[in-house]
Amino acid sequence: PLVPMTEFLPRAKREGFAVGQFNMNNLEFTQAIIQAAKEERSPLIFGASEGAIKYMGLKNVVALARVAAEEAGVPVALHLDHGSSFEMVMKCIQAGFSSVMFDGSHYPLEENIRLTKEVVKAAHAVGVSVEGELGTIGGVEDDLSVDEEDAQLANPDDAIRFWEETKVDAMAIAVGTAHGMYKGEPKIRFDIIEKVSKNIEAPIVLHGGSGVPDESIRKAISLGVGKINVNTENQVACTNTIREILNAKPDLIDPRKYLGPARDAMVEVVRSKIRLFGSAGKA
């Protein structure tokens, strides 16, 4: 069965590793992600954004995640990524999600706290874990788009207060990473991670995990990051593989002949992240 993130995140923070959230976009993403987690004996978080849910269909998302979890025999959470409303959160919980993110980061602090508290109350009542967010993460993901100039780092004192009042199970804070590909190297504010993590029980969540150098990831984990979201690197591996094959073989028509190799490429992306995050062998 699908489990809440509280099954493995407290241990991750205690022992200094992070669990990856890898986004589902279709069947091949789902298969690649679970294969890597199974082979590496790692706990896993499937992320499903509202855009991906619209694309795949809510019931398909839940069914695929359930089958994957059953077959892999490792703890798997199915997590709503960047949930935008209480209604959407409830719809996903009713459909079978074991974890949700409520992203109220575009609201003023008081409003974000108030709305997140409502989500926590409803979700915790049925054993579903919750991630909250403070500060805005730059870049583009699905329908979410934030100009770099508008991206706002989280204020550590606000983040600590946010956690004390909401008691979310995982705390996403904007610390300089962005969704999508980076133009240069991200400048991560490790001091913010450290200060917030020391003062709250929940692990910090790092969004925009694609393209962040390995040393920065290791340092972030050592300071209290316990969940890292990765999507774009899988999308790049998938699409580049398909593009290469189709360019080389213009007569190819069997989708399995390019989707299969794309899936293999994603297995290796997820495997290397699981090893980097230190969650291999922790299932």
Q: Catalogue the active-site residues.
A: 81
229 is in an annotated binding site: yes
- Select from 38, 117, 207, 282 the one that contacts Zn ion (CB under 5 A): 207
8 Å CB contact between 45 and 227:
yes
Tokens matching residue 146: 């934030």
Task: Give the shortest CB-94-to-ligand G3H separation in angstroms.
Answer: 22
Assess 179 for contact with ligand G3H (CB under 6 A). Answer: yes
Rounded to a whole number of angstroms, the minimum distance from the CB of residue 21 to ligand G3H is 7
Binder among 180, 186, 260, 261 for ligand G3H (CB under 6 A): 180
Nearer to ligand G3H, 90 or 181 (CB): 181
CB of 59 to Zn ion, least distance (A): 24
- DSSP 8-state secondary structure symbol assigned to residue 5: G
d(CA 194, CA 89): 30
Closest CA to 120 of 51, 182, 87, 169: 169
- Residue, CB closest to Zn ion: 207
Of 9-28, binders to ligand G3H (CB under 6 A) are 23
- Closest by alpha carbon to 119, among 103, 135, 107? 103
Tokens at residue 152, please? 């706002």
Tokens encoding 241: 């593989």
**Cα R_g (the chain), whole angstroms:** 18
Of the candidate residues 231, 266, 267, 276, the single one contacting ligand G3H (CB under 6 A): 231
Residue 156 amino acid letter: P
- Residue ranges of the annotated binding site are 82, 103, 133, 179-180, 207-210, 229-232
Q: Report the interface residues with Zn ion, using CB under 5 A.
A: 207
